[in-house]
């Protein structure tokens, strides 16, 4: 776990996020199905967590003192799989089997099939409750580990999220940091049209959380927010990461149709040209 970024670190993490996006697009194209937009929008957040901030051991996924990552927006599994593969949890060649019959890389993460997946997710709204339980258990065991939970902005329309929000504040879970991938779009359109979620910051503050509002594609801002969360005592932290759906590929960015649509072979070729510039 590191807390300070040099210019070299930022360059390396930017390159790593680019690599994640490349692997995401390749595996989705090979599968012919899956969630492009929300996987790409979360790539910078997941990169900072896995390649800079979190304490974890790919060679020992069950290491007791590890930090835990819960992908509540489980449909964005490709970004988690890319991070796990590039971290060394399994051979990168396995990414080509995404969504194939018998593959451990299911359409949503399955903890029974893949090392490094803390919990099976995909039914939206449940991840924060799970993160609460893990954070409480870590405190009871006297460990210094932290729990990170990534939610989608459309996901927080689920009522269970707000029950979990109250629970985390009530039990003063200061070892819990949740992050909203706030890209403004969900499967049925703009979040503001489906079910308005703003003002997000005020809502989480009203539920007893410390809230940090950032650009979710700014590597330094992401790390600074994660560092700040670690110093705060007595309450959980919510990082509202303002992102762009499909970030990194111009013709995917801000397009709701790519929420659950995989790239075609031609689109992959064009996307890789952009990412290799």
* CATH code of the domain in which 263 resides: 3.40.50.970
pLDDT digits (tens, 9 = 90+) for 207-249: 999 999 999 999 999 999 999 999 999 999 999 999 999 999 9
The verdict on residue 169 lying in a domain is yes
Q: Is residue 80 part of a domain?
A: yes
Tokens of 270: 């064009």
Q: Quick check: is 75 in a domain?
A: yes
| Structural domain span for residue 45 | 7-275
Residue 172 domain flag:
yes
Give domain status of residue 1, yes or no. no
CB atoms within 10 A of CB 146: 22
| Closest by CA position to 27, among listed 39, 13, 16, 11 | 39
Specify whether the CB–CB gap between 144 and 65 falls below 8 A.
yes
Mean pLDDT of the chain: 96
Determine the pLDDT at residue 1.
52
Q: Please compute the mean of the pLDDT values over residues 102-108 and round it to a whole number.
A: 97
CA nearest to 69, candidates 179, 207, 161, 218:
179
Q: Quick check: is 45 in a domain?
A: yes
Arithmetic mean of pLDDT, 112-124 = 95
Contact 247/18 with Cβ under 8 angstroms?
no
Q: How far is CA 169 from the centre of its chain?
A: 21
The size of the chain, in residues, is 277
**Phi, psi torsion values for 255, nearest 5 degrees:** -105, 110
Quote the number of domains for the chain. Answer: 1
Q: Per the domain annotation, does 98 fall within a domain? A: yes
Residue at 104 is within a domain? yes
């Amino acid at each position: 776990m590191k807390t300070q970024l040099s210019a070299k670190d930022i360059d390396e993490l930017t390159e790593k996020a680019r690599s994640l996006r490349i692997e995401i697009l390749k595996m989705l194209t090979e599968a012919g199905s899956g969630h492009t937009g929300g996987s790409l929008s979360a790539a910078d957040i997941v990169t900072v967590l896995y390649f800079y901030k979190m304490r974890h051991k790919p060679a020992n996924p069950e290491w007791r003192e590890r930090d835990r990552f819960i992908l509540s927006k489980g449909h964005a599994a490709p970004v988690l799989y890319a991070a796990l593969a590039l971290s060394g949890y399994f051979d990168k060649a396995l990414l080509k089997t995404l969504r194939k019959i018998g593959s451990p890389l299911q359409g949503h993460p399955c903890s029974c099939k893949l090392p490094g997946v803390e919990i099976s997710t995909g039914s939206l709204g449940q991840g924060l409750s799970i993160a609460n339980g893990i954070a409480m258990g870590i405190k009871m065991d006297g460990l210094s580990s932290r729990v990170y939970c990534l939610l989608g902005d459309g996901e927080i329309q689920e009522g269970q999220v707000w029950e979990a929000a109250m629970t985390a504040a009530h039990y003063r879970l200061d070892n819990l940091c949740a992050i909203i991938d706030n890209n403004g779009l969900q499967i049925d359109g703009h979040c503001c049209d489906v079910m308005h979620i703003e003002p997000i910051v005020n809502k989480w503050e009203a539920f007893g959380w410390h809230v940090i509002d950032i650009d979710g594609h700014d590597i330094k801002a992401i790390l600074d927010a994660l560092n700040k969360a670690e110093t705060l005592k007595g309450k959980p932290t919510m990082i509202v990461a303002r992102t762009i759906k499909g970030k990194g590929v111009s013709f995917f960015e801000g397009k709701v149709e790519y929420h659950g649509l995989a790239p075609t072979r031609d689109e992959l070729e064009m996307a890789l040209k952009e990412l290799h510039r």
